Amino acid sequence: MSFRKRFMAGESLTGSFLKIAHTMPAEILGVLGYDFVVIDEEHAPINRESVDRIVLACKAHGLGCLVRIPDADPSAILSVLDCGADGVLVPHVDSVQKATEIVGAARYRAGNRGYSPTTRAGNFGLNSIATHVAQEDERALVIAMIEDPKAVEDIDAIVATDGLDGVFIGRGDLTVAYGETNPGSEPVKAATKAICKLARENGVGLCAMTDGAKDLLSLVELGVTSVIVGSDQTFLRNAARDQLADIKAVFPNRKD
């Protein structure tokens, strides 16, 4: 079953952002049993060549692979899908027009995706036109990131966009945009509830970041089925910090 089908079926899926331009973090998460990763082109030094290698690593370990493209420019979608990514997270989708454009960029029959079968996605030219077009239109998952007050105001129309598969609730960006410092603030909580309600009513999947069991339970109650837990950077930082603390406890005279 494709990752898109699993997402749309409402499976409980756990993923992580990848910000290190190397294949090993993806391989490690795949070995551990994570369901998917999101390669972060927006906030990390990752280019198309890095994406290509990481996608291949994901495929080797049966790991779902999405790419957060740098911005809402639909032209950035083509390359990552040709590399074989399972779909895209698109930042700052704050209008029906943007939602329509990103869906169109990811689809052949109902959109305007540029055709090239001589890619990993096209089995390097072995697939026929009909097979390639059908498989890619079924496979490409399109998730809009809702992280602006304007997007929340227009959320009823955005989630009704034909072909939009899911929304990601950008609570961090919303916190800053609303002038808050706590993702649990009332404006952010209200926005999160509104997004979830309208997404569910329109059959659109829900994804969000979570930082613990209590937060996760609240998201599940709102209908979120896919969650992102930290990133390869945060995993490395936390493990290194904890290990160093243990070492310092044994070396009391260690000089920093």
Q: Is 43 a catalytic residue?
A: yes
Rounded CA-CA distance 230/210 in Å is 8
The torsion defined by the Cα of 23, 244, 230 and 138, in degrees rounded to 10, comes to 20
Rounded CA-CA distance 96/36 in Å is 27
* Residue type at position 255: K
* Residue type at position 60: A
Rounded CA-CA distance 207/196 in Å is 10
Identify which of 196, 190, 140, 187 has the alpha carbon closest to the alpha carbon of residue 169.
196
User: Exposure pattern of 48-77 as b/e (b: 16+ CB <10 Å)?
Assistant: eebbbebbebbbebebbbbbbbeebebebb
Q: Of 43, 61, 92, 132, which residue is the catalytic one?
A: 43
| Alpha-carbon Rg for the chain in angstroms | 19
Rounded CA-CA distance 56/84 in Å is 8
Residue 67: φ, ψ to 5°: -125, 125
Name the residues annotated as catalytic.
43
